A and B are shown apart, each in its own frame.
Chain A
Amino acid sequence: MYKETHTHEEHLSIVAQGLTKRFGSFTAVDNISFNVKKGEIFGFLGANGAGKTTAMKMLCGLSKPTSGNATVAGFDVSTQSEQIKKNIGYMSQKFALYEDLKVWENMRLYAGIYGLNDNEIKSRTDEILQQLDFQNERNTLVKALPLGWKQKLAFSISIIHQPDIVFLDEPTGGVDPAARRQFWELIYQTADKGITVTRTTHYMDEAEYCNRICILVDGKIVALDSPKQLKETYSAQNIDEVFRLLARKAIRNQ
């Protein structure tokens, strides 16, 4: 029995049980439980204020859960948040790189913080610049980049240390469709390397690209399955329809 559980947990990146976050009398995330497998692209889908960002912040160790527990990369979110931080990457909803630093300087800073040495930093920087086709922007101040490029850069920097799991909070918000498609290519490339991708979104079409999605309504999980399975269960044409069926009951943000 023990052995079975052990092997079972071996291929899980995230295990959440009854994770809850309250701000005063407001329950932002209400008793959610789910597992995320290694190398999976896992999506949190929900309206604004459904609790997606709060759930993600608890998993990243940015916010302390009110109750419940979760392990990320094998570490407990309540007690081992600093160990978790070594093994994850995070891209916030709000662009959070230093705009007054150049592209290569931002890369060097974060790579350095994650413990890469100067040689490793150099080769990783070249690799990423090539992957993004950014060679000409190496010395550009980040504030001079267009939004779509900034987001791609932020994503690449969030995985500069090749973490086990990367958390992306609305990474494609405000980005044009072409840039969004390129962004998805980056996400697939990342997942192919075995990095677990957890992301939030409110774009229904993007949800279809995830391996599994978890629909949050008023802080609760109302559905969790692969997009295909969800469409079958609710006999819907697309995820948008599934979402509208489920979100009809929402109280917040009408």
Chain B
Amino acid sequence: MLKYLLEKEFKQFLRNRFLPKFAIVFPFAILSIFPLVTNTEIKNIRLCVVDNDKSGYAYRLTEKIKSSGYFILKAVTTNEKEAFELIESHKIDIILEIPSRFESDLIKENKASVLISANAVNGMKAGLSSAYLSRIIADFNQDIRIDLLQSTNQQLSPAFGITPLFRYNPLMKSLFNMIPAILVMLMSVVCGFLPALNIVAEKEKGTIEQMNVTPVSKFTLILAKLIPFWVVGFIALNICIFVAWLFYDFFPQGNLLTFYLFAAVFVLAMSGFGLVVSNYAKSIQQAVFIMFFFVLTFVFLSGLYTPAANMPDWAQLLSHISPLKYIILVVRLIYLKGSGFTDMLPQFFSLTFLALFFNTWAVLSYRKRKM
């Protein structure tokens, strides 16, 4: 029985003018563009240096900042007011003010201070730019300490040096953080929406009634809806892996089979959820809005943008029902850390549980007969 139903589903899917193209073009387009768009690294920060010192050290500091690649030096001035006018007219993003006697203070008193002022209308950009700038200045500080030590033969005064080591993503590339997340979001859309819309479309056309009057079991019917979208989800996943490798040279560190196994369970959970929605929705419109609501909720609870640990307790509790929470972690672990299956057992069990839960619910809530 299942054989004939599957034949039907695949033929209908492939004959659809839109869906097969959607399943291929959508992952390709999204994954080739979105990681660049959602890049959280800030570049091209427009800088104005207020150089009141005009010394060699001030010059060296400015050069060092320029060579970092993050900043564009828009203006060098001695007039503080002028710099603030520039920031107000949105021509620059950040000001570095070097006081007069910067060099002599450094040499004589062994210390000097600079002032950073950033435009915080975009808080994230301001925070990151001043952090970058501070790091460069700290680095510069280290350089001149060594310089001074050599020239004066003084004892280097003890100081802390903090060297963060970013394991698994040594360059802290935000791209490597975003790609797994985008990949998962995309799979949720493909595997959640398509099955949800499929059953509702049959309800609207009335074809489901002819099915309901046959002896086909609910389980077979749901399975016949699930399998095709499971296959489509897999194809989309492979397109994603390919695009990430092609465009960003980003390939899973871990075992690809482990990745497939987790993806298979995740797709099953999302499709099952889509089917549940389709059983309750009376029209395509309803199904779309219900899916939107839940997929967005799942995404925000998943820790995709903000770590789940930052959330209030109730939200953390709620986040357990989001299949995305587990899979995003797993995809990041496999891509960046190369974790093996046994390292991710808790996530595997949680995903399996959600897959069973949603699909059982889908079978139980499917009604062949109206009350």
Contact = CB atoms under 8 A, between A and B. Distances in A.
- Is B a genuine binding partner of A? yes
Given A64-B371, A95-B206, A115-B1, A109 B8 contact: yes
B369 A61 contact: yes
Interface of B: 1, 3-5, 7-8, 11-12, 15-16, 205-207, 209-217, 368-371
A187 B4 CA distance: 28
A220 B8 CA distance: 41
Contacts of A81: 368-369
A142 to B, nearest CB: 11
B204 to A, nearest CB: 11
Interface centre among B5, B215, B216 (most CB of A within 10 A): B215
Interface centre among A62, A81, A88, A96 (most CB of B within 10 A): A96
Nearest to A96: B210
Contact of A64 (B4, B205, B209, B369): B369
B206 A92 contact: yes
A33 interface: no
A97 B210 contact: yes
Q: How large is the interface on A (under 10, 10 to 19, 20 to 34, 35 or more residues)?
A: 20 to 34
Contacts of A100: 11-12, 15-16
Nearest to A106: B8
A54 B371 CA distance: 12
A108 interface: yes
Interface of A: 57, 60-64, 81-83, 85-86, 88, 90, 92, 94-101, 105, 108-115
A101 B8 CA distance: 8
A64 B15 contact: no
Contacts of B371: 64
B5 A113 contact: yes
A63 B213 CA distance: 10
B10 to A, nearest CB: 11
A96 B369 contact: no
Nearest to B216: A113
A88 B213 CA distance: 8
B370 A63 contact: yes
A61 B1 contact: no
Contacts of B213: 60-62, 85, 88, 90, 92
Contacts of A88: 213
A92 B210 contact: yes
A67 to B, nearest CB: 13
Contacts of B3: 112
Nearest to B214: A113
B370 A96 contact: no
Contacts of A96: 205-207, 209-210
B1 A112 contact: yes
A78 B290 CA distance: 33
B207 A98 contact: yes
A88 B212 CA distance: 12
